């Protein structure tokens, strides 16, 4: 079955370290997205990519970086510049067809700074 | 850009009671609207979507939503709440570039 896989499920980071969250999809979707979720704050868009080798900043891109070298993969790096990285991170994808809108989500990665 | 507003960040109902979660949209053209559900420590799952085919949309788990243009609303309902319905619910609207804008979410609590 097709879907989106996020790994790891739980991740612990020491202060000053960069960490990379994995997001892989086998849905043949063109667009992929990263969201951050904090308690009581809904979903906030970090980065998105609508085509391979291209991506755009979302509302809270500072301290994060992404790449989109393959259609299936959209990894997110949380850099040491992100001052408060502890959060739940969600990856999503969409088919990119305006007549078939809607996202498919991964199961999330919970990042904790220790 | 179009937006959605979810009234009530927390809603509490008794098991067996009606569930009503409110969503209002801001749009001057017919929107595409969605409801997603999120269980603890999981991703979001699509409950239902409105794409202008029918104003009453039926989704999974007994949920449905009615698109009311006159009220710019897309409220989510379920006739009888079950303990397993306890989760966070998000309303969303499609914007340019096929991107979704999400509401702030409503946490549904179901009391036994």
Whether A22 has a pLDDT exceeding 90, the answer reads yes
- Integer CA distances (angstroms), A58 to A65, A111, B101, in order: 11, 19, 12
| pLDDT given for residue A59 in this prediction | 93
Q: What pLDDT is attached to residue B73?
A: 94
What mean pLDDT, rounded, does chain B reach? Answer: 93
Hey, CA dihedral for A41, A4, A96, A74, is it positive or negative?
A: positive
pLDDT of residue B30: 74
Asked if residues B72 and B82 have their Cβ atoms less than 8 Å apart, the reply is no
Q: Do A102 and B44 touch (CB under 8 A)?
A: no
As a three-state string, the secondary structure of A8-73 is CCEEEECCCCCEEEEEEECCCCCEEEEEEECCCCCEEEEEEEEECCEEEECCCCCCEEECCCECCE
Closest Cβ–Cβ partner in A42, A104, A107 for B104: A42
Determine the pLDDT at residue A91.
98
Residue B99 has pLDDT above 90, yes or no: no
- Predicted confidence at residue A114, as pLDDT, reads 86
Q: What is the mean pLDDT of residues B89-97?
A: 90
Is the pLDDT at B29 greater than 80, yes or no? no
Is the pLDDT higher at B33 or at A1? B33
Contact at CB, B41 and A108, closer than 8 angstroms: yes
pLDDT for the residue numbered B8:
92
Q: Would the CB atoms of B98 and A88 count as touching at under 8 Å?
A: no
pLDDT band at A100 (very low <50, low <70, confident <90, very high): confident
Distance CA B21, CA B35 (A): 10
Decide if pLDDT at A83 tops 90.
no
A99 has pLDDT over 90: no
Query: Are B103 and A31 inside 8 Å of each other by CB?
Result: no
- Nearest CA to B90 out of B79, B80, B98, B100 is that of B100
Contact with chain B for residue A98, Cβ under 8 A: yes
CA distance A63 to chain B (A): 22
Q: Using 50, 70 and 90 to split pLDDT, how confident is the model at A62?
A: very high
What are the CA-CA distances from residue B73 to residues B11, B26, B27 (Å)?
18, 9, 11
> Which residue shows structure tokens 């029918």?
B54
Mean pLDDT confidence for B18-22: 98
Question: Do the Cβ atoms of A90 and B100 come within 8 Å?
Answer: no
Q: How many residues does chain B have?
A: 112
At B24 the three-state DSSP class reads: strand
Say if A110 is an interface residue toward chain B (CB within 8 Å): yes
**Number of A:B CB contacts under 8 A?**
55
pLDDT at B17 over 80: yes
Tell me if A107 and B99 make a contact (CB, 8 A cut-off): no
């Amino acid at each position: 079955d097709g879907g989106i896989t996020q790994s790891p499920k739980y991740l612990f980071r020491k202060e000053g370290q960069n960490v990379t969250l994995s997001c892989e999809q086998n849905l043949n979707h063109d667009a992929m997205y990263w969201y951050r979720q904090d308690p009581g704050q809904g979903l906030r868009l970090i980065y998105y990519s609508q085509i391979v080798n291209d991506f755009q900043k979302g509302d809270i891109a500072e301290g994060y970086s992404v790449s989109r070298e393959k259609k299936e993969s959209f990894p997110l790096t949380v850099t040491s510049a992100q001052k408060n990285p502890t959060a739940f991170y969600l990856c999503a994808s969409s088919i990119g067809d305006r007549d078939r809108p809607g996202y498919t989500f991964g199961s999330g990665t919970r990042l904790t700074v220790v | 850009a179009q937006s959605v507003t979810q009234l009530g960040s927390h809603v509490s109902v008794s098991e067996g009671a009606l569930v009503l979660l409110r969503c209002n949209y801001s749009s001057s053209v017919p929107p595409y609207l969605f409801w997603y559900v999120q269980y603890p420590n999981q991703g979001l799952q699509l409950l239902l979507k409105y794409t202008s085919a029918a104003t009453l949309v039926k989704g999974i788990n007994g949920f449905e939503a009615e698109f009311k243009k006159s009220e710019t609303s897309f409220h989510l309902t379920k006739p009888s709440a079950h303990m397993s319905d306890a989760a966070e619910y998000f309303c969303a609207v499609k914007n340019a570039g096929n991107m979704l804008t999400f509401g702030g979410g409503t946490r549904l609590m179901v009391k036994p």
